[in-house]
C-alpha cells in the first residue's frame, strides 16, 4: 500500500495534470503541506508537457518522498513506512493470508 501523497502525485505525473481540490481535500493535510503537493504536481505536469514523461514520474516520486518526510508523525501511514515482509519468516500460509489487507 502506498502513501496517499504518492498515489496522488503518481496519478498526476502519469496523466500530465495538476491535482484537483477534491484530491487535496482528501489528503487532509495542513495548508503548507497541501501547497507542497500542489506545487509538486504542477511541476510534474509541466515536465510531462515538455515530453519527458519518465522524468515527470521520477520527479513526482522524489517530491512525494520529500513531502512525506516532513509530515507530522501522525500523518505518516505506518503501513507505508514499515516493511510488510519484516518478521514474517516464521508464519505459515494461513497466518500470512490473514495479514493481507482486503
Burial class (CB in 10 A: 0-12, 13-18, 19+), 92: exposed
How far is it, in rounded angstroms, from Cα 66 to Cα 10? 14
pLDDT confidence of residue 85: 58
Give the position of cell 502506498.
2
- Spacing of C-alpha 81 from chain mean position: 11
- pLDDT of 66: 93
Specify the pTM.
Answer: 0.72
In tens, the pLDDT along 2-47 reads 889 999 999 988 888 999 999 999 998 999 999 999 999 999 999 9
Amino acid at each position: 500500500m502506498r502513501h496517499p501523497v504518492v498515489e496522488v502525485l503518481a496519478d498526476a505525473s502519469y496523466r500530465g495534470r495538476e491535482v484537483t481540490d477534491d484530491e487535496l481535500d482528501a489528503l487532509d493535510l495542513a495548508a503548507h503541506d497541501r501547497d507542497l503537493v500542489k506545487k509538486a504536481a504542477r511541476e510534474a505536469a509541466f515536465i510531462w508537457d515538455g515530453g519527458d514523461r519518465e522524468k515527470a514520474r521520477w520527479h513526482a516520486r522524489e517530491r512525494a518522498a520529500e513531502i512525506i518526510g516532513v509530515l507530522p508523525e501522525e500523518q505518516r501511514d505506518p503501513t507505508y513506512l514499515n516493511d510488510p515482509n519484516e518478521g514474517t519468516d516464521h508464519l505459515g500460509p494461513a497466518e500470512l493470508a490473514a495479514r493481507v489487507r482486503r
